[in-house]
Structures are given as C-alpha cells and as structure tokens.
Amino acid sequence: MDQGHPMLSLVYTSSAAQPFTDGELSELLKGSRAGNRSVGITGLLLHRDGEFVQILEGDRDEVEHLMGRIVQDRRHRDVRILLKEPLHERRFARWTMGYESLSGLDAAAADGYRDSFDDLRMGDHDMIGRALMELTMWFRVRDTDRRREA
C-alpha cells in the first residue's frame, strides 16, 4: 500500500484523431512509461482499431495533471472519463504502463471478447464499474500466470 498522498484510480476512453502505426504506438508507450515512472503513475492501456481504454493510478494530483494533458492532446478525441475513485492499493503496481493490443484477436479463443469499447462508454456507472473491475482482474491474473511461466 502506498503511504502519504491520497491515491486515485481513473479510467478513460478516447479515440485516436488519426490512426497510429505500430511504430508510433511504440514511441507513445516509451514516452508514457518514462514519464509515468518519474511521477509514480502505474496503469494499463488497451488499444483496438484506434480506440483506447486506459487505467491510470497514482498520486491524486499527478493523475489529475496527466489527465488534463491527455484531454488537451490533439492525438485524442472524444475523451470520456468512465470511473474516478480513491485507490487504497495499486492494481498495476509493477506496470508503469501495461499495454495490450486487442487487434486481430480470434473471437472464439478469447473469453470476454469485445468488438469495441462502446458498451463501456454508454453503460450506467454501476455496469461500467463492474466491467472495468472484471477487466482489470483478467489482466492481473494473466500477468501473474506469465510470471509463473517465466
């Protein structure tokens, strides 16, 4: 558990203003990871066909400052905050920015496969919260399984 300043978990969705190439996404991740590490932000970024879902966690002021920069970033459009809540313990403590591309998944092979993130944008607060908690749990379990295999 982190001590000191109050922590915040924030989840948002956005659309890319223009498509990202794999190289551009790689550069975005490299810069984000370095910046996040320097201010103690951890989280997860999901990308599919120009749509993003991102979970940010860390010191409340740092997360809110970063979110303000994201809203102003011209590479994003239709930025929507889905969930913002106090955080007592990090869910992604090891990840300065975990990344998963959801492009090209075999729908039959992926439990919980989603065509888009539209349902996260349009649901009520309780439904969005439950869906996001299940999503974060799925990634945390996968991370634990990968570490065991290594």
pLDDT digits (tens, 9 = 90+) for 7-18: 999 999 899 998
The answer to whether residue 113 sits within a structural domain is yes
Is 70 exceeded by the pLDDT of residue 137? no
How many domains does the structure of the chain reveal?
1
Does a structural domain hold residue 133? Answer: yes
34 lies in a domain? yes
Confidence category of residue 4, pLDDT binned at 50, 70, 90:
low
Confidence at 23, pLDDT banded by 50, 70, 90: confident
Tell me, what's the pLDDT at 10?
93
Please state, for a pLDDT cut of 70, what percent of the chain lies above it. Answer: 60
96 domain residue, yes or no: yes
| Domain of residue 42, CATH code | 3.30.70.100
Find the domain containing 89 and state its range.
7-149
Alpha-carbon separation of residue 90 from 12, 37, 65, 86, 95 (angstroms)? 17, 14, 18, 11, 10
149's CB contacts (< 8 A; 6+ apart) are: none
Asked whether the beta carbons of 10 and 63 are under 8 A apart, the reply is: yes
Do residues 42 and 90 make contact, with C-beta atoms less than 8 angstroms apart? yes
Within-domain flag for 114: yes
Q: Is residue 44 part of a domain?
A: yes
Please, which residues bridge with residue 101 across strands?
Answer: 47
Give the residue, 120 or 50, on which the prediction is more confident: 50
In a domain, 2, yes or no: no
In a domain, 115, yes or no: yes
